[in-house]
Homo-oligomer: A and B are copies of this chain.
Amino acid sequence: MSTPLSIKIDRSSPIPLYHQVVQGIEGAIRDGSLASGTRLENEIELAQRLRLSRPTIRKAMDDLVQSGLLVRKRGVGTQVVSSQIRRHLELSSLNDDLERAGKKPSTSLLSFEHIPAPEQIQELLSLPKDVSVYHFTRLRSAGGSPLALMENWVRDDIVELDEKSLRAHGLYELLREAGVNFRLAQQRIGATIADGAQAEALDTEAGSALVTMQRTAVDDTGRNVETGSHVYRADAYSFEMTLVQR
């Protein structure tokens, strides 16, 4: 009732052992040797066969359950989630989402200013009184057609921004280069109707549907680094995610 898994463990690699197990199982799922619904070996057997301890195996399993690739049931076993559900999994991590927010398609800078934080922004970013913000709007396009209108505020005590660097690089790229390690983001997604200015910028009609997104991102020192308010053409963008029961 269970499928033996062939995973190579390299003890001289700098990649942690549990993560090698994660990659091995991910790989086996991706290449089809672990089909949807397949039951895995039990944890103790797998640990013995790979010459790893059970806690190491469990750490790997925990990660895979968290990322939505496996489901576990006490007393029964662990199995691979259906391919239907796995299809868009890769979009659900903060990292990928931040990547998309900072890179890939072309982005043009529409406005830029360096100002004292408006009250609401000061609150959203929990800013000390002497910290100002960069405020700018950008237009994201993909394949030549406009996709999103993005307005952001970034605290100025962590990174130095100017128009030139924002024209050349993604926001998250710049922040990471400045040593910011993101840990958390609080996000709200809704809908609205395009007003005249939005419609013109996004090359659509006033009254068409837009997806709205507000996000505030936190780094590993607990600072709220940036907050943004974005609108996307609803015919070109939606948010996909996988929720995991905890």
Contact = CB atoms under 8 A, between A and B. Distances in A.
A68 interface: yes
B183 A245 contact: yes
A191 interface: yes
- Interface size on A, as a range, is 35 or more
Interface in A160-198: 181-193
B207 A95 contact: no
Interface string A87-98: 111000111010
A218 interface: yes
A228 to B, nearest CB: 14
A191 B84 CA distance: 23
Given A193-B193, A209-B193, A210-B191, A243 B85 contact: no
A195 B23 CA distance: 46
A184 B94 contact: no
